[in-house]
């Protein structure tokens, strides 16, 4: 346990407790972790637990107990086959299978794309730290398709800038519930993290906390109906922004959840989430030339669509 003692001076009186600690504690810690420690009663003001919104007073005495962080597990190489669509000295374009997590997180440190990349043995960028070497962007675990990996920091920074500026070309295909009425359309709805279920996102228009989280960040998705079936539509999706779970949340909100998406939809008879990244295009960081890669529709999609026509 790391224990720290702080005495509030006149210059800081009136600051909210978590703000005061961030300003004065000489220890690397995030505000969110401080708030968790306050909630857990690990931070005492004048020998009593305090609330995060408490405003400190002159001469207040703070005792802050910060548990030692557990050692970060080593990320080990694993011989997992990679479907490499393209490779040069700067980058890899990989066709990720459904069911594979992109990088270690939340106590999952094996069987990820990163474990496979470490086994493959190529150099990887270091910008995102030891848990995410080479990872510029990610696909959800149950989404398959194209993903670019950076072999060096120059490439990583360039690609990340392209993603931030929304100049990367991305196309997905999805099977969704119901018949989508319009042949083409745009879904322009803000997205925020759900306040009651932190594992989910939601469309949100609010400016304060509510059941649907904080005010949403702008999110825009364009779509085109490729084919309609009895109670299923095959869509092409073009996300302009890259919010967490964007396509899944937008389609759920519109009444057409993606088949197999058990987080935002229901069991549908499709044994995985029916979302696949089919096209990925960007300016090559080294040459500046625009390059584009394609991935065929998965066999499970084809088989399912054939069954709908019988």
The whole-number pLDDT of residue 99 equals: 95
Tell which wins on pLDDT, 27 or 156. 156
Which runs of consecutive H residues, i.e. helices, occur in 121-254?
Answer: 153-164, 246-253
Q: How high does pLDDT run on average in the chain?
A: 92
The whole-number average pLDDT for the span 31-60 is: 91
Structure tokens at 241: 């922004």
Instruction: List Cβ neighbours of 78 (8 Å cut-off, separation of 6 or more).
Output: 110, 111, 115, 116, 118, 119
Which tens digits make up the pLDDT trace of 178-231? 999 999 999 999 999 887 787 799 998 754 444 444 578 899 999 999 999 999
Out of 18, 60, 140, 142, the active site residue is 140
Q: How many residues does the chain have?
A: 310
Q: Which residues pair with 293 in a beta bridge?
A: 280
168 in Cβ contact with 282 (< 8 Å): yes
The whole-number average pLDDT for the span 30-44 is: 89
Q: Do domains 71-165 and 166-273 have the same CATH topology?
A: yes
46: pLDDT strictly greater than 80: yes
305 in Cβ contact with 259 (< 8 Å): no
Structure tokens at 29: 């810690």
Q: Which of 132, 143, 309 is nearest to 237 (CA)?
A: 143
The whole-number pLDDT of residue 214 equals: 58
DSSP assignment letter at 284: -
Pick the CATH number of 71-165 from 2.30.130.10, 3.40.50.300, 3.60.20.10, 3.30.2350.10: 3.30.2350.10
How many other C-beta atoms can be found within 10 angstroms of the C-beta atom of residue 21? 24
The whole-number pLDDT of residue 207 equals: 45
Look at the domain 2-66 and name its fold.
3.10.290
Distance CA(192)–CA(198), nearest Å, equals 10
Domain ranges of the chain: 2-66, 71-165, 166-273
The whole-number average pLDDT for the span 159-171 is: 96
The whole-number average pLDDT for the span 237-243 is: 95
43 in Cβ contact with 65 (< 8 Å): yes
Q: What is the CATH number of domain 166-273?
A: 3.30.2350.10
The whole-number pLDDT of residue 27 equals: 84
pTM to 2 decimals? Answer: 0.77
Tell which wins on pLDDT, 166 or 32. 166
Structure tokens at 101: 């997590």
Which tens digits make up the pLDDT trace of 61-94? 999 998 877 677 789 999 999 999 999 999 999 9
Distance CA(129)–CA(156), nearest Å, equals 12
The whole-number pLDDT of residue 206 equals: 58
Q: Is 140 a catalytic residue?
A: yes
295: pLDDT strictly greater than 90: yes
The whole-number pLDDT of residue 81 equals: 97
Provide the percentage of residues in the chain whose pLDDT is more than 70.
96
Q: Which of 82, 104, 102, 101 is nearest to 93 (CA)?
A: 82
For 98-218, list the strands marked E by DSSP.
144-150, 169-177, 184-188, 191-193, 201-203
For 48-150, list the strands marked E by DSSP.
48-49, 61-66, 84-87, 91-96, 144-150
Distance CA(48)–CA(118), nearest Å, equals 48
């Amino acid at each position: 346990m790391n224990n720290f003692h702080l005495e509030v001076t006149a210059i800081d009186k009136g600051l909210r407790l978590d703000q005061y600690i961030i300003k004065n504690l000489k220890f690397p810690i995030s505000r969110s972790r401080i708030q968790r420690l306050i909630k857990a009663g690990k931070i005492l003001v004048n020998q009593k637990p305090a609330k995060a919104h408490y405003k400190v007073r002159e001469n207040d005495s703070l005792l802050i107990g910060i548990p030692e962080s557990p050692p970060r597990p080593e990320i080990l190489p694993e011989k997992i086959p990679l479907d490499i669509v393209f490779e040069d000295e700067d980058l890899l374009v990989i066709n990720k299978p459904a069911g594979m997590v992109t990088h270690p997180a939340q106590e999952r440190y094996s069987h990820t794309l990163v474990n496979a990349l470490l086994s493959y043995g190529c150099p990887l960028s270091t910008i995102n730290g030891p848990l995410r070497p080479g990872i510029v962007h990610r696909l959800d675990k149950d989404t398959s398709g194209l993903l670019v990996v950076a072999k060096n920091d120059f490439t990583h920074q360039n690609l990340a800038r392209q993603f931030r500026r929304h100049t990367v070309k991305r196309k997905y295909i999805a099977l969704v519930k119901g018949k989508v009425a319009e042949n083409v359309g745009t879904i322009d709805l803000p997205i925020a993290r759900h306040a009651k279920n932190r594992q989910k996102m939601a469309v949100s228009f609010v400016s304060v906390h509510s059941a649907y989280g904080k005010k949403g960040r702008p999110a825009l998705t364009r779509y085109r109906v490729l084919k309609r079936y009895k109670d299923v539509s095959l869509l092409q999706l073009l996300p302009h922004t890259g919010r967490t779970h964007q396509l899944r949340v937008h389609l759920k909100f519109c009444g057409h959840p993606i088949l197999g998406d058990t987080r935002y939809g229901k069991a549908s008879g499709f044994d995985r989430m029916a979302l696949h990244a089919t096209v990925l295009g960007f300016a090559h960081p080294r040459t500046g030339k625009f390059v584009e890669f394609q991935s065929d529709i998965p066999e499970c999609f084809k088989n399912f669509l054939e069954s709908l026509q019988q």
